[in-house]
Structures are given as structure tokens and as C-alpha cells.
Amino acid sequence: MPEPTTPAAGTVREISTGPGRILVAAYAVFAVAATGRSLVQLGTDADRAPLAYSLSLLAAVLYLVATGCLLSGGPTARRVALVSVVVEAAGVLVVGTLSYVATDLFPDKTVWSHFGQGYGFLPLVLPFLGLWWLRETGKATLP
């Protein structure tokens, strides 16, 4: 009878090289970028676009959570990563759409506005890569 592999071991092994490392690095970069930008925007001009800047801060928190959970592995971390990536995907789709439809709500660029256009559309692609990665590494860790 083969010995079952724990989800934490499979995830950590997969993150330590190749595409997993790139994905975690991208999440970390976006966490830093979104945190910095949203804090500056909220600190200097919060009354200009409070909803947009607050959603940008939410994006930063989600990137931070996803980064930490992808790195730590384990069943609970994977579930938290899944929730954060799903919320991130919904956020970029909703905010991206609203930034074209309700332009008064998004007078300034944020991480998710215009589907992440200011970041090369990577905020639109990143959650779907994260979902794919969680699915693929989840397969590898099943007994």
C-alpha cells in the first residue's frame, strides 16, 4: 500500500521550483505594489476616490494572504488561498467592469481598475493562474 503524501509536502515541493516559485514571486510583488499604492492614495487623497482606493487596499490584503498561504501549504492554507484567489478574481472582474461603466466611482487608476491595465493586465491573469496552480498541486497531493 503506497504511503499517502500530505498536502503540505506536495505544495511546498511544488512551490520551491519552477512555475510555483514564479507564481509566489508574482503574488509577493503585487502584494508590495498594491499595498504601497493604496496606502499612498488613501493617505494623500482618500476623498477623491474612497471606494476605489479601499478596494485597492483589499486587493493588497488578498495578495498578501495568497502569498503566505501558497508558501505555507497544508490543507487549511490551501483553503484560505482558494478563497482569497476566488475573491481576487471576482474583484478584478467587478472592478474592471465598473471602472468602464461607472467611471465616477473610479476616477483614478487602481490595481483592479480597467482589469489591471496599469499593471499589464496581470491582475486579471494572476487569480486564474493561482486557481490553476491550486488545482494542479492539489492533484499531486492526493493519496
Contact (Cβ atoms closer than 8 angstroms) between residue 92 and residue 118: no
Q: Is residue 100 included in any domain, yes or no?
A: yes
Q: What is the pLDDT of residue 81?
A: 94
* Residues 104-140 pLDDT 10s: 988 888 899 999 998 999 999 999 999 999 998 886 5
Domains of the chain: total: 1
1 in a structural domain: no
CB-based contact 92:123 (threshold 8 Å): yes
Instruction: Round the CA-based radius of gyration of the chain to a whole number and report it.
Output: 17
Residue 2: inside a domain = no
| Within a domain: 105 | yes
Q: pLDDT digit string (tens) for 37-72?
A: 999 999 998 898 899 999 999 999 999 999 999 988
114 falls within a domain: yes
Helix residue ranges, H only, 46-120: 50-72, 75-101
Q: Is residue 124 part of a domain?
A: yes
Contact 47, 114 (CB under 8 A): no
Dihedral angle, C-alpha 77, 79, 84, 88, nearest 10 °: 130
**Residue 143 falls within a domain, yes or no?**
no
Query: How far is CA 77 from each of CA 41, 74, 137, 141, rounded to the nearest angstrom?
Result: 30, 5, 13, 14
> What's the pLDDT score for residue 31?
94
How many whole angstroms separate alpha carbon 115 and alpha carbon 96? 4
Residue 110 lies in a domain: yes
pLDDT computed for residue 18 by the predictor: 74
Q: Rounded to an integer, what distance in angstroms lies between the CA atom of residue 95 and that of residue 56?
A: 10
Amino acid 14: pLDDT: 55
Domain housing 107: 7-138
